[in-house]
Chains A and B, each alone.
Chain A
Amino acid sequence: MRYSGFRVIKEALTGHKGWRPTWRDAAPQPDYDFVIIGGGGHGLATAYYLAKQFGQKQIAVLEKGWIGGGNVGRNTTIVRSNYMLDGNEPFYEFSLKLWEGLEQELNYNAMVSQRGILNLYHTDGQRDAFRRRGNAMILNGSDAELLDAEGVRAMYPFLNFENARFPIRGGLLHRRGGTVRHDAVAWGYARGADQHGVDIIQNCEVTGFRIENGKVLGVETSRGYIGAKKVAASVAGSSSRLMALAGMRLPMESHVLQAFVSEGLKPTIPGVITYGAGHFYCSQSDKGGLVFGGDIDGYNSYAQRGNLPVVEDVVESGVSLIPALGRVRLLRSWGGIMDMSMDGSPFIDKTHIEGLYFNGGWCYGGFKATPAAGWCLAHLLSTDRSHETAQAYRLDRFQTGHMIDEKGQGAQPNLH
């Protein structure tokens, strides 16, 4: 069924009796050509592009819970292409271009909103670093504008400009960045994949791999054995747990990241603002809630909930940037498990086991990557070659010395 304005009116006039489930509730077949583990944004996008773009058939997505229940439904929805390093920026620019056409491509309202992202700077050194990053972005086809304090004041007069320790000196504005409705991304890709014949199998946890002579034959699941020619793991924070079942140790730690939403307010913050002095970023959802977050809690965790010191820290940063926030009531907070890699950058690669592929290590930034990660993993699965924008995302890069460390923090995942 195609969605359109006409359809909405027709259904409104006929008692909404014509709507159908957005995707089929498929039962597992004994064999597939491609099995994708993890029904998050990445897994569903991979299945969609594999079927649609690369013309593959016999594809299943296996999800242990319900699709969209992982990080794709827990993030703060920011999409951007404002990285600096060569291994990253072409990939994120590719992703942003896919976001720009996504709703037409999927015939699904994902509420892609290019409302602009402003990264604030507070010192001369930070300004120079932002100028350099902005130039790198422009060289890779993205957009960047360096604003001075007056430029920022014209956009957001309510910020705390006169903070004695961290006065706002200006910001790097990335106009094409913005937000996307996260659940709708999962549902839109699920619907698109389903329409191209992909089986989306929920409540199906992968509990083991069948590997013989260095080649994967299929996966053991809570719904029985499923054979597959190629298997791709795309399970975000559960990556180490899953790949341990195939005998692999990953360059990765799992950490919890919290996010927060306030009560609904009238429109106050039209774009996305990030603080340069504390770790704090904020936007306003279409329902009016301020959506914000900050640092990860900083210790290994699989608990999907964090602790109070980080709540306090994030809120303190927020109030020091936007004093008016002190009057706002917090509605909810939650946590998601991040696959924090050793250099803060992801992996889309083959493993040493034939037929087993891995996508992960997205840290707290994998939502924006959803379309391109899906496309690039589908490219790899289908052609056995890396997509040109994902060639740096190798699992062996720590061995070969080709780390992609945007922040220059070294092998300390809780600092990325």
Chain B
Amino acid sequence: MLINHPLLGPRDASEFTYLGDASLMNRPDWQAENAVQAFHDYLYLRDNPAGLHRELWFHEQGDRSWLLVTRNTLTHEIVSVEMASETRRSGGAAQ
């Protein structure tokens, strides 16, 4: 798999470490009434879709940036790649 890094161009996926579903960017509010439940769901539950999946890859062997990759889990085709930091800045949460 090649990941088209927005700054560095196409890089082999083996340069990256994989974290998982992009929803991990949306940390729950620890002061909310339902924080215990929300953190359980945040940490342990996943949509795990067959099809398009928004996910976090860390460019460990490269510029050490976090990328937000949209990839089809049925074909491994990568549809889009964004800098996670920019997605966060331009509205915060990932879907």
By a beta-carbon cutoff of 8 Å, the part of chain A in contact with chain B is: 238, 240-241, 244, 249-254, 298-303, 307, 309, 342, 398-399, 411-414
Contact A251 to B73, CB < 8 A, known contacts A299-B18, A412-B20:
no
Contact A309 to B14, CB < 8 A, known contacts A249-B47, A300-B53, A342-B44:
yes
A interface footprint on B45-56 (CB within 8 Å = 1, 0 otherwise)? 111111001010
Q: Flag whether B40 is at the interface (Cβ < 8 A).
A: yes
A-B contact pairs, 18 of them (CB 8 A): A240-B47, A241-B49, A249-B41, A251-B44, A253-B48, A299-B18, A299-B55, A299-B71, A300-B20, A300-B71, A300-B73, A301-B73, A301-B76, A307-B1, A342-B44, A398-B43, A411-B44, A412-B20
* Chain B residues whose C-beta falls within 8 Å of the C-beta of A250 in the assembled complex: 45-46, 48
Chain A proximity of B29: nearest CB distance (Å): 19
Q: Flag whether B7 is at the interface (Cβ < 8 A).
A: no
Asked if B45 and A249 sit within 8 Å, CB to CB, the answer is yes
Q: In the complex, A219 Cα to B84 Cα: how many Å?
A: 41
Q: In the complex, A300 Cα to B76 Cα: how many Å?
A: 9
* Chain A residues whose C-beta falls within 8 Å of the C-beta of B12 in the assembled complex: 309
Overall SS of chain B's interface: mixed
Q: Flag whether B79 is at the interface (Cβ < 8 A).
A: no
Choose among A238, A253, A307 the residue that contacts B46 (Cβ–Cβ < 8 A). Answer: A253
Choose among A299, A300, A309, A411 the residue that contacts B43 (Cβ–Cβ < 8 A). Answer: A411
Overall SS of chain A's interface: mixed
Q: Flag whether B38 is at the interface (Cβ < 8 A).
A: no
Choose among B20, B41, B50 the residue that contacts A241 (Cβ–Cβ < 8 A). Answer: B50
Contact A303 to B74, CB < 8 A, known contacts A240-B47, A249-B47, A250-B48:
yes
Q: In the complex, A298 Cα to B15 Cα: how many Å?
A: 13
Asked if A398 and B76 sit within 8 Å, CB to CB, the answer is no
Q: In the complex, A252 Cα to B13 Cα: how many Å?
A: 22
Interface size class on chain B is: 20 to 34
Q: In the complex, A268 Cα to B24 Cα: how many Å?
A: 47
* Chain A residues whose C-beta falls within 8 Å of the C-beta of B41 in the assembled complex: 249
Smallest Cβ-Cβ distance to B45: which chain A residue: A249
Asked if A240 and B48 sit within 8 Å, CB to CB, the answer is yes
* Chain A residues whose C-beta falls within 8 Å of the C-beta of B55 in the assembled complex: 299-300
* Chain B residues whose C-beta falls within 8 Å of the C-beta of A342 in the assembled complex: 43-44
* Chain B residues whose C-beta falls within 8 Å of the C-beta of A309 in the assembled complex: 12-14
Interface centre among B43, B47, B50, by most A CB within 10 Å?
A: B50
* Chain A residues whose C-beta falls within 8 Å of the C-beta of B14 in the assembled complex: 309
Q: In the complex, A300 Cα to B22 Cα: how many Å?
A: 12
Asked if B18 and A251 sit within 8 Å, CB to CB, the answer is no
A interface footprint on B27-65 (CB within 8 Å = 1, 0 otherwise)? 000000000000011011111111001010000000000
- Listed from nearest, the 5 A-B pairs whose CB atoms lie closest are A240-B48, A309-B14, A251-B44, A302-B50, A398-B44
Chain B proximity of A344: nearest CB distance (Å): 13
Interface centre among A244, A252, A302, by most B CB within 10 Å?
A: A302
Smallest Cβ-Cβ distance to B46: which chain A residue: A253
Q: In the complex, A302 Cα to B40 Cα: how many Å?
A: 25
Q: In the complex, A412 Cα to B56 Cα: how many Å?
A: 13
A241-B48, A411-B44 are known; give 17 further A-B pairs, CB within 8 A: A240-B49, A244-B47, A250-B45, A252-B48, A253-B46, A299-B18, A300-B53, A301-B76, A302-B50, A303-B74, A303-B75, A309-B13, A342-B44, A398-B43, A399-B40, A413-B20, A414-B18
Interface centre among B43, B44, B53, B75, by most A CB within 10 Å?
A: B44
Asked if A254 and B76 sit within 8 Å, CB to CB, the answer is no
Q: In the complex, A223 Cα to B73 Cα: how many Å?
A: 27
Asked if B18 and A298 sit within 8 Å, CB to CB, the answer is yes
Q: In the complex, A252 Cα to B12 Cα: how many Å?
A: 26
* Chain B residues whose C-beta falls within 8 Å of the C-beta of A240 in the assembled complex: 46-49
